Amino acid sequence: MNRLQRVRATAYGKLTLSLRVLGLRPDGYHEIEALTVSIGQPSDVVEVEAVPHPGGVTFAVVGETDHVPKGMDNLAARAAEDVMLRAGRSGHGVLLTLRKRIPAGAGLGGGSADAAATIVAVRTLLDLELSDEELLDVAAGLGSDVPFCIRGGAAWMRGRGEILDPISLRAGLGFLVAIPPFRLATPTVYAAWDELGGPEATRRVEPQGTVARLIGALANDLEPAAEAVAPDLREFREALERAAGRPALLAGSGSSYVVPLERGVDGEDLAARVSRSLRVPVVAARSTSVGVRIGS
């Protein structure tokens, strides 16, 4: 059988539809319970190519690279190294190119999605003999959200995020994702949550469609912390809610906001109108059943 020379994978972002923070743990992470879905838009693309030299991982990132680490400290580059090391194949030459579209620091799990797609792409490229459990273990070592991005679809995330309870949820649920002109770092938002004494979310958003069978109300406990770190966020959210005519909830640790849409709403048309009104990128996103798609 001919060895593959090149593998391409699409890395899908994710939305936390609801995020409860249960407390600070002795290891510095926070215990969470989050209802999370993969979304088809925005997405990144990872390309891996087997090369005779140099040995090890060579990394390049192109596209929308603001706030994206350009060197081997990028989570995707580390993911390639870690999965090759776990399989005892770290001497192989792999050229990794990351095409970025998911904005960094927006709470859409872009870095985690890139790491997940890289793990799966490198396993395919080098035909690594690693089980799904071993892949998830490598993923959890890279970041709390990487295991979810590998499995994709919909799940309750527990522990620090790495414990997954998959949910069968119809793909194609509609959302607007509005991206403000500023970014937030996850550790900063969690630290603010600690400093504020561990607040609970004060706002609740009604779930739409089949999500209503899973949860009575959507809330994000990091929202008060994020709005304290970046006071402009609140005004942004209120303007978004006026323009969209629907309530919005912070995505993960921010800075994006999510507007859940009822079935049958033309998300593209609404996204275009809200984007014009707020003068920021607004994406019409749909939930998808996978976190990584090989070969597209």
Nearest distance in Å: CB 191, ligand C5P? 7
Stretch that binds ligand C5P, among 25-33, 42-50, 84-92, 123-131 (CB under 6 A): 25-33
Could you tell me the sign of the dihedral formed by the alpha carbons of 190, 196, 197, 201, in that order? negative
Stretch that binds ligand C5P, among 28-36, 39-47, 58-66, 98-106 (CB under 6 A): 28-36
User: Catalytic annotation on 127?
Assistant: no
Measured in whole angstroms, how far is the alpha carbon of residue 76 from the centre of its chain? Answer: 13
Nearest distance in Å: CB 145, ligand C5P? 6
Stretch that binds ligand C5P, among 24-32, 131-139, 263-271, 282-290 (CB under 6 A): 24-32
Tell me the number of residues near ligand C5P by CB under 6 A. 11
Nearer Cβ to ligand C5P, position 110 or 153?
Answer: 110
Catalytic residue among 82, 114, 145, 221: 145
Instruction: Candidates 14, 30, 151, 246: give the one binding ligand C5P (CB under 6 A).
Output: 30
Residue 154 φ/ψ, nearest 5 degrees: -140, 140
Nearest distance in Å: CB 168, ligand C5P? 25
Catalytic residue among 14, 100, 114, 221: 14
Q: Give the footprint of ligand C5P on residues 157-196 (CB under 6 A).
A: 160-161, 186-187, 190
Assess 144 for contact with ligand C5P (CB under 6 A): yes
Contact, 29 vs 147, CB < 8 A? no
Nearest distance in Å: CB 189, ligand C5P? 8
At residue 119's C-alpha, the angle toward residues 115 and 124, to 5°, is 145
Stretch that binds ligand C5P, among 8-16, 81-89, 139-147, 284-292 (CB under 6 A): 139-147
Residue 234 φ/ψ, nearest 5 degrees: -65, -45
77/72 Cα distance (integer angstroms): 5
Q: Please, which residues bridge with residue 285 across strands? A: 175
Residue 162 φ/ψ, nearest 5 degrees: -85, -15
Instruction: Candidates 29, 228, 286, 294: give the one binding ligand C5P (CB under 6 A).
Output: 29
| Number of Cβ atoms within 10 Å of the Cβ of 93 | 14
204/222 Cα distance (integer angstroms): 13
User: Catalytic annotation on 70?
Assistant: no
For the chain, first and last CA: distance in Å?
22
Q: Crossing angle of helices 75-86/110-126, nearest 10°?
A: 40
Contact, 62 vs 97, CB < 8 A? yes
Nearest distance in Å: CB 143, ligand C5P? 3
- The residues that are catalytic are 14, 145
User: Which residues are at the interface with ligand C5P (CB under 6 A)?
Assistant: 29-30, 32, 143-145, 160-161, 186-187, 190
